[in-house]
Structure 1
Amino acid sequence: MTFAVNPNASLFLLPDPVTCFRSASYNQIQTFHLTADASAVILDWVTSGRRSLGEEWVFSRYYSVNEVFVDGKRIAKDAMLLDDSQIDAKPLPERALAERLRPYSCYATLFLVGPQVQAVIAELVRRYQAISVMKMKSPDKVIWSLSPITGNDYTSVIVRVAGEETEDVKGWLGEGLEPLRQCIGKDVYRQAFR
């Protein structure tokens, strides 16, 4: 799928997460073309499957690629491949996809680009800089990272989030993206993160 975002326009792509069924093979390639003064919030996330049916990380393959261009220049290309194939990585033992991804059941990648999302980026940078890294006995319910896309400035960022439950990630996104409420309105915001 290809998206074009015109001057002074914004794209807010905030879908429900992809939830693959048993043995599914999912492929997605998304390309975003923005002008220099356009903005985009691009959320790409996946769950472990239909857990209520006992389907946790039992799909065959999940492949998702996102490319972001600004004024024709690629600023980001991100690919996520989750494959249940066993890889011969001696001396490490073979492990199923579920074992490799535990304890988390939801993974999200978020791109924030452009002038309309600078308040969101500033708040996330503030929160990220306040994180202290300490060794813990058990992992947090939600972990996240934030990286600038272009150089060392934080005008465009990529955020990665992992959570034990889908609702944990949805809650984090709802809190972390709260400044978007001003851009998209409270009703659309509530619909995306309820």
Structure 2
Amino acid sequence: MEDLKTGTVVVEKVMGKSTATRCFSKYPLKFILPRKVGSSQTDAVWIYALTYGGGIVSGDSISCEFTIGDGCTAVLTTQASTKVYKCVGSRCSVQIYEARIGIDALLVVIPDPVTCFSTAKYSQKQVFRIMSNSSLLIVDWITSGRHESGEKWDFTHYKSTNHIYLEGDEPLFLDTVLLEQGSTVTIAERVQDYQVLAMVIILGPKLKHVQTKVQEDVKNMMSEQLQLPATSLRRYSAPSTSHSLIKPSFLASCSPFGPQGSGVVIRIAAMTTESVYRFLQQQLASLEPLVGVLPYC
């Protein structure tokens, strides 16, 4: 791998406030930590991860570590979609994030989606080590590509792995999504009309109210989507001119995991990026008191 990029951020309590006590990044990876996001009463550190080239180049390897200390709150996000450029030869771009989340701490990972260019090869892995009362929210999503250039699911390889371990090395959530062009069936043929795939993980006591809202809203929304005609009102769908039953433009499911259902994973397939943004805006709005601003607004 070429152009190795590494980064480290440590968030700790300093005089009662969540503070980044260490922030290191190696060119062309860069972290931006604004001093103030939202109300002065908000106790959260925002971390923007970006690359100077505006995306991930073929063969890049990015490795980052984050430590969120006891009682702290941190938000990890991006300034725009993560662009993965065309593959040169057989070189795969790799991004690895590892995070440790302390007692009564909260980490919110809310990036914009990954957008892979034609022929791109990309693999990302995120590993989170939490305590029994840590809280964690992860949004992990990908679009079909550059629509304006006619690229839809034209990349060669995409792999996204999310592992959550409880108090050391006890597996709590292990998940991998793999999209790869087949010799007989392409990604586009398998995904069909859906242009966005997303996963949202919500875990921990500080996010229980978010879990409850999402589970109820997804249940109600999908009851409408799957039982009523296509002309019925849909909260997250683009209007349809058809008067027949058609494939829903937004699909979502919820599954609990962990001890006593302490976490929930939401999986989404949508025909437009905008519909996923709207869903995330509405479902994560109650995070504002914890993180300072409305996510994805």
Determine helix, strand or coil for the equivalent of 2:115.
coil
Equivalent in 207, 212, 215 of residue 125 of structure 1 = 215
Equivalent in 138, 150, 167 of residue 54 of structure 1 = 150
Give distance in 2, aligned partners of 1:66 and 1:5. 15
| 1:76-97 Cα deviation digits (max 9, x unpaired) | 11100000122xxxxxxx3321
| 1:106-128 Cα deviation digits (max 9, x unpaired) | 11111111111100001112223
Distance 1:64 1:71, change over 3 A: same
Determine helix, strand or coil for the equivalent of 1:120.
helix
Give 1:74 deviation, angstroms.
1.2
Alpha-carbon contact 1:41-1:110 (below 8 Å) kept: yes
Give distance in 1, aligned partners of 2:228 and 2:120. 36
* Structure-2 residue corresponding to 1:98: 188
Give distance in 2, aligned partners of 1:70 and 1:114. 11
More strand by share: 2
Question: Max radius of gyration: which structure?
Answer: 2
Identity rate of aligned residues, in percent? 30
Give distance in 2, aligned partners of 1:179 and 1:45. 21
**Is 1:141 the counterpart of 2:249 in the alignment?**
yes
Give 1:176 deviation, angstroms.
1.5
Q: Which moved more, 1:129-138 or 1:3-12?
A: 129-138
* Structure-1 residue corresponding to 2:296: 193
Determine helix, strand or coil for the equivalent of 1:148.
strand
| 1:113-145 Cα deviation digits (max 9, x unpaired) | 111110000111222343424386212221100
Alpha-carbon contact 1:60-1:85 (below 8 Å) kept: no
Note the aligned Cα RMSD (angstroms): 1.6
Question: Number of residues paired by the alignment?
Answer: 182
Alpha-carbon contact 1:121-1:155 (below 8 Å) kept: no
Give 1:28 deviation, angstroms.
0.6
Give 1:68 deviation, angstroms.
0.7
Q: Could you tell me the TM-score, scaled by structure 1's length?
A: 0.88
* Structure-2 residue corresponding to 1:150: 258
* Structure-2 residue corresponding to 1:179: 286
Determine helix, strand or coil for the equivalent of 2:116.
coil
Give distance in 2, aligned partners of 1:177 and 1:76. 21
Alpha-carbon contact 1:121-1:154 (below 8 Å) kept: no
Determine helix, strand or coil for the equivalent of 2:254.
strand
* Structure-1 residue corresponding to 2:204: 114
1:5-84 matches, cutoff 5 A: 5-72=101-168, 73-84=170-181
Give distance in 1, aligned partners of 2:218 and 2:112. 25
| Unaligned residue ranges in structure 1 (runs of 5+) | 87-93
Give distance in 2, aligned partners of 1:3 and 1:169. 26
Letter in 1 for 2:269: A
Give distance in 2, aligned partners of 1:139 and 1:8. 42
* Structure-2 residue corresponding to 1:170: 277
More helix by share: 1
Alpha-carbon contact 1:111-1:159 (below 8 Å) kept: yes
